[in-house]
Amino acid sequence: MSTQETVLREFGTVEENELRLEPEKAEQVIDALNTDLAATYVLYHQLRKHHWNVAGAEFRDLHLFLGEAAEHAEEAADELAERAQALGGTPLAGMSALEEHAPVEPEDDDIYDIRTSLAHDLEVYGDIIESLRDHVELVTNLGDHATAEILREILVQVEEDAHHVEHYLEADTLVTEDALR
């Protein structure tokens, strides 16, 4: 193993890119992508936490859904990071950087009943949906239509997963709030 360390690209810098998006515009797009990347990782870890800890009458369905939703978040994070890199930037990767840049608050490490956990997930989903919509508009105005398309595709999946969470939180369920008391 080499003991010599060479930084190939310093975080926060933007290099010329083969996609021919001007560096000033690319920097704004990369900042938006990194914001969405950080939020998506918060969501990913929260969904995994709930996937691991779900219990009760609807365990199997919720366990499977939360696992799939976490996979969707992981796939979105990969798309966001790869696009930031393609535009000459450096995607966020370190836990402290992700936490610092995330526009959403992660749930703490305590374990909650699944209705509370899903309500926390829905809150994060809502914040991410708003951010993605804002960033679609931003990158479109900057002339980066490919990034806008990537963000739109991610937005569709995020909205679909959020809609499923809404359904799980409906009152018509196998386990009612009265059963939780």
Q: How many domains does the chain have?
A: 1
At 41, is the pLDDT very low, low, confident or very high (cuts 50, 70, 90)? Answer: very high
The domain containing residue 49 runs over which residues? 23-170
Whole-angstrom Cα Rg for the chain: 18
Judge if pTM exceeds 0.85.
yes
Question: Does the residue 91 lie in any domain?
Answer: yes
Question: Does the residue 73 lie in any domain?
Answer: yes
Q: Domain with 140 in it: what CATH number?
A: 1.20.1260.10
Q: Which of 120, 27, 124, 21 is nearest to 76 (CA)?
A: 124
Reported as a single tens digit per residue, the pLDDT across 14-29 is 888 888 899 999 999 9
Cβ–Cβ < 8 Å for 81, 90: no
Reported as a single tens digit per residue, the pLDDT across 78-126 is 999 999 999 999 999 988 888 899 999 989 999 999 999 999 999 999 9
Q: Which of 11, 80, 87, 82 is nearest to 43 (CA)?
A: 80
Angle at which helices 114-141 and 145-168 pack, to 10 degrees? 160
% of the chain at pLDDT higher than 70: 93
Question: Does the residue 12 lie in any domain?
Answer: no
Question: Does the residue 138 lie in any domain?
Answer: yes
